[in-house]
Amino acid sequence: MDNTEIFSLITNIKGYEKSLNHDSLEKSKKNNDKPFQKYEFLGDRVLGLIIAEYLIDKFQKNKLDEISRRFIHLVNTNTLSKIFKKFEINEIFKHQLDPNSDKNSVYADALESLVGFIYTNKGLDFTRNIVLSLWQEELDTLPQKDPKTFIQEYSQRKNKKIPSYKLIKESGTKHKPKFIVSLKIDHFSVEGEGVSKQKAEIAAAKKMIKLIFKK
């Protein structure tokens, strides 16, 4: 399907506007039901299911860590925001956001809200068709990202937070320093060591990837 066909399918669903009226709107603030938040919550799960299902089926012979990298790329904030703008869904998205707010994050939430609405009204098969059409150009992309970027996108996706690295020890000499940093995500905790704080953080990120995805 081309962009026009996809856009038409979406806008022909009765009441689609409910999922694209952001909570910043005055009328939304007065609605205790908070449909945008509920659809976004549901859409996040439905999107994850559809993308995970696609990747497991398409890349059956690939290692899980590679599938995980693909998954995180496909559901991260930047990818969602890019798709939201590419298909001009932002043109029908209503909000009263502060001009300085993080639009990419809000656009990502809005796309998830739309996915949740489509699923609620049209079911899984129809939603899968829309999602795979919207994501078509991204589906087979394997991003080559450094460990820290990978962990950041994972954490933002899962917890809506940027991971925090904490320097816990600095030792050694001026010519041979040693840094140890800790990294925590959920119930996972690791330490990384390096000759600079940056290298120690990279080492910690690598350990976290191995721990989470059992590489």
Q: What is the mean pLDDT of residues 171-193?
A: 91
- Higher local confidence (pLDDT), 2 or 139: 139
Among candidate residues 40, 112, 153, 201, the one labeled active-site is: 112
Q: How far is CA 115 from the centre of its chain?
A: 14
* Catalytic (active site) residue 23: no
| Domain extents in the chain | 3-134, 147-213
Pick the CATH number of 3-134 from 3.60.21.10, 1.10.1520.10, 1.20.1090.10, 2.60.120.10: 1.10.1520.10
The highest-level CATH class for domain 147-213 is: alpha beta
- Cβ partners under 8 Å of residue 119, min gap 6: 42, 43, 46, 127
pTM of the model: 0.71
**Over the stretch 72-101, which tens digit does the pLDDT of each residue have?**
889 988 899 999 999 989 889 988 877 777
Portion of the chain with pLDDT greater than 70, in percent: 94
Residue owning tokens 């690939």: 62
- Looking at the DSSP assignment, which residues form a beta bridge with residue 85? none
For residue 180, give the H/E element and its range. strand 177-185
44 is a catalytic site residue: yes
Which residue in 34, 142, 131, 46 sits closest to 80, CA to CA? 131
Domains 3-134 and 147-213 share a fold: no
Q: Which of 116-125, 138-147, 182-191 has the lowest mean pLDDT?
A: 138-147
Average pLDDT score over residue span 52-81: 89
Cα 42 to Cα 115: distance, rounded to the nearest angstrom: 8
Annotated catalytic residue within 40, 44, 153, 201: 44
Say whether 172 sits in a helix, a strand or coil.
Answer: strand
